[in-house]
Amino acid sequence: MEATRTTTAAAVRDVIAPLWCEALNVPEVADGDDFFVLGGHSLAALHVMAAVEQTYQVELGGMRDIWENPTLGEFVAVVAALVTE
């Protein structure tokens, strides 16, 4: 999927939420769910971040982006800010 500048935060969430579910081995996630509280770890975070970077052709700020924004809603906001500029 190639992102366009018209991508919305809701559309970004629709892409990222399944990535979190896969990485965390959970059936669903909500905006307030914390990646690390749900069992996420650094390798799972790297997997998610690599998938996001590949999907949207953006470069995230490394592990800092998920460490400082551990909930789905916060992380989506970071990614959405990059792809909707």
Give the pLDDT of residue 50: 96
Q: Is 4 left (phi over 0), alpha (psi -120 to 50) or beta?
A: beta
Whose CA is closest to 8, among 72, 82, 59, 80? 80
pLDDT in tens, the chain (85 residues): 444 445 799 999 999 999 999 999 999 999 999 999 999 999 999 999 999 999 999 999 999 999 999 999 999 999 999 997 6
For residue 62, which amino acid is it?
G
pTM check: above 0.85: yes
Handedness of CA 22, 28, 33, 38 (dihedral sign): negative
Topology given in CATH for the domain delimited by 9-83: 1.10.1200
Q: What is the CA radius of gyration of the chain?
A: 12
Q: Which of 9, 16, 8, 15 is nearest to 72 (CA)?
A: 16
